[in-house]
Amino acid sequence: MSRTLLVSPDRPGAYPSIGAAVLDAPDDAVISIAPGVYLETIDLADRSVTLTADGDDVVIDATTAPAPVLRASGGRLTLRDVTIRAGDAPAIQLDGGTLRAERCVLSAGFGPVVQVTGPAEVAVSHCQVSGGEHGLVLEDCTAKVEHTKVTGVSADGVIVRLGATVVLHDCQITDCGRRGVYAYQYGRPTIDTCEVSGTSEAGILIAYDSTAVLRHTVVRDAAGPAVAYGRRCRGEVVSCRWENTAEPALELAEPELVSVTAAEQLDSRMTTDEPTGADVESLLAELDAMVGLAGVKDEVRSLIDEIQVNEWRRRAGLPIGSLSHHLVFAGAPGTGKTTVARIYGKLLAALGVLPKGQFNEVARRDLVGQYLGHTAEKTTMVFEGATGGVLFVDEAYTLSRAGAENDSFGQEAIDTLVKLMEDHRDEAAVIVAGYSDEMLRFMDANPGLASRFSKTIDFENYSPDELTLIVQRMVAAQEYDLDDGAEPLLHRHFAVVSQAANFGNARDARRLFDRVRKAQSQRLRRLGGMPGLSELRRLRLDDVTAAVS
């Protein structure tokens, strides 16, 4: 029979914190947690434990901590009826073992909300996942996710990669900054009776030799196609439908590899219709709307002008020079490099330079293999998957030998990438990004690397005025009202913190906004009873003061 340990800071004889109970818990123990907010992070290594709420409103809050709220490696972790709030790290990070989450509310400020690396087994049911860059990142694992809602993530709702076998059943995936479901590198998702809506790219994207089965699933309001299968991707699409998505709604790179039955639209082609000049202007307007970055905007506009003039010269029968679309983005984190890269890819597509303009963001782990020869294979697969769009290599300097002694795998990735850029120079745009000094050293990692890139664009840190404006835009976007007296306080705060060596620019602005909302929530909760609409919207000066202190 399993042992039960009680956690309650106010109850004599109970454990004062979850971490204290975990330290004493034998295997297969149940830790019963009294209602309250627990400001802690918990590490579990080869442990088997259940964390369950003893009543409503059990919150594990680590929004100010740089570490995952719950990190488990090996063992078995079961969660029931708890709310977990993370900051810039995952709410749950599982490195092998077993995870079961039931009726939980999970959120993060940045990065993945749930990150699983295998070999692992995962079962998630009746949960809510929100915030963060990605909702669920599942790799090298077997997972079943059912009756769960993933919403409001800045990039992909669910990522299935590195051979993960995942079943999504009766799930809602909404309001994603990129794709609802993204499978790559031999991912094997089965998406059954789900709804995907409100994505800025494809609703469901299957890429890089993955196999996906879609049944009785609806995709709505996607800026890209409803469903897209890349080259060498296989699967089935059965009784699915889509509404208000880009055309073609069902995009199959190799239709003979995908069985389609009883779907509302069967139009399949590899490229979208040629965008108009109005698309270029709207994308440039989107770029102009970003806070600051005056020099970056000028550089991008000059590139677009040169591309446009080259096209006019070509049509007039005049000679044109070769123009590389590969770029180096140099600057500190949080300065808008990823956002600008996405817009740049769409601009290249709008100008007819690239057929699609899709955005593929990768890092070292996506390119570097685990044994001799594996890196070249992985890098080639990633490059092929980016064909027709942008390959964005974040923190590219981590690949160079300067970053680690005798790093032959990272160097192999660079050498492979250089060759692919030469052999397929007009088929994709490669953007490498990272800190300015590190990127200078990165460019020395291969004799041909510097010649592959036409330009380095420097992203300067945001000024205190610009960071204050970024927070104000976040406030407006989330339908809050900020007290007038808060602006000088925000400016003074950013003037101080922006001098720190590890300052995160817009990321720090996002973290501050989250702290302000947290301060408002705590203040309103202490008042008791449901406040009126105006108070729910209002962020008072003392909320900001609490957040910056």
Average pLDDT over residues 343-349: 86
The predicted pLDDT at position 277 comes to 46
Average pLDDT over residues 324-351: 86
Average pLDDT over residues 313-337: 81
The predicted pLDDT at position 531 comes to 78
The predicted pLDDT at position 274 comes to 40
The mean-pLDDT minimum among 142-151, 253-262, 478-487, 525-534 falls in 525-534
The predicted pLDDT at position 354 comes to 80
pLDDT higher than threshold 70 for residue 405: no
pLDDT higher than threshold 70 for residue 406: no
The mean-pLDDT minimum among 57-71, 210-224, 482-496 falls in 482-496
pLDDT higher than threshold 90 for residue 138: yes
Q: Give 92's strand partners.
A: 70, 114
**Distance, CA of 43 to CA of 48 (rounded, Å):** 12
User: Within 10 A of 397 (CB to CB), how many other CB atoms are there?
Assistant: 23
Locate 13 and state its tokens: 């004889």
The mean-pLDDT minimum among 60-64, 310-314, 332-336 falls in 310-314
515 Cβ neighbours under 8 A, 6+ residues apart = 63, 64, 546, 547, 548
Which ranges in 479-532 belong to alpha helices (H)? 486-497, 506-527
Q: Cis check for the bond before 119: say yes or no (omega within 30 of 0).
A: yes
The predicted pLDDT at position 268 comes to 35
**Distance, CA of 410 to CA of 445 (rounded, Å):** 10
Location of structure tokens 């740049």: 344
- The pLDDT-based confidence of 156 (bands split at 50, 70, 90) is very high
273 class by beta-carbon count within 10 Å (0-12 exposed, 13-18 middle, 19+ buried): exposed
User: Within 10 A of 370 (CB to CB), how many other CB atoms are there?
Assistant: 8
The predicted pLDDT at position 262 comes to 66
SS3 of 300-334: HHHHHHHHHHHHHHHHCCCCCCCCCCCEEEEECCC
Of residues 479 and 6, more confidence is placed in 6
Q: Are 4 and 29 in contact (CB under 8 A)?
A: yes
Location of structure tokens 């890209």: 224
Q: Return the beta strands (E) in 148-275 as ranges.
A: 149-153, 158-161, 165-169, 172-176, 181-184, 188-192, 195-199, 204-206, 211-215, 218-222, 227-229, 234-238, 241-245, 250-252, 258-261
- The pLDDT-based confidence of 537 (bands split at 50, 70, 90) is confident
The predicted pLDDT at position 92 comes to 97
472 Cβ neighbours under 8 A, 6+ residues apart = 482, 487
- The pLDDT-based confidence of 311 (bands split at 50, 70, 90) is confident
- The pLDDT-based confidence of 362 (bands split at 50, 70, 90) is confident
- The pLDDT-based confidence of 402 (bands split at 50, 70, 90) is very low
**Distance, CA of 469 to CA of 471 (rounded, Å):** 5
451: helix, coil or strand?
helix
pLDDT higher than threshold 50 for residue 511: yes
* Percentage of the chain exceeding pLDDT 70: 95
- The pLDDT-based confidence of 338 (bands split at 50, 70, 90) is confident
Q: Please report, as a single letter, which amino acid is at residue 478.
A: Q
Average pLDDT over residues 280-291: 82
Q: Return the beta strands (E) in 384-483 as ranges.
A: 390-393, 429-434, 455-459, 481-482
The predicted pLDDT at position 70 comes to 97
The per-residue pLDDT of the chain, averaged, comes to 87
- 471 φ/ψ sector (left φ>0, alpha ψ -120 to 50, else beta): alpha
169 class by beta-carbon count within 10 Å (0-12 exposed, 13-18 middle, 19+ buried): middle
Tens digits of residue pLDDT in 169-205: 999 999 999 999 999 989 999 999 999 999 999 999 9
The overall pTM is greater than 0.75: no
Average pLDDT over residues 2-16: 93
The predicted pLDDT at position 348 comes to 86
Q: Dihedral of CA 465/471/477/479: which sign?
A: negative
SS3 of 191-221: EECCEEEEECCCCEEECCCCEEEEECCEEEE
The predicted pLDDT at position 440 comes to 83
Most confident of 63-67, 279-283, 439-443: 63-67
The predicted pLDDT at position 397 comes to 86
* Percentage of the chain exceeding pLDDT 90: 42
Of residues 104 and 476, more confidence is placed in 104
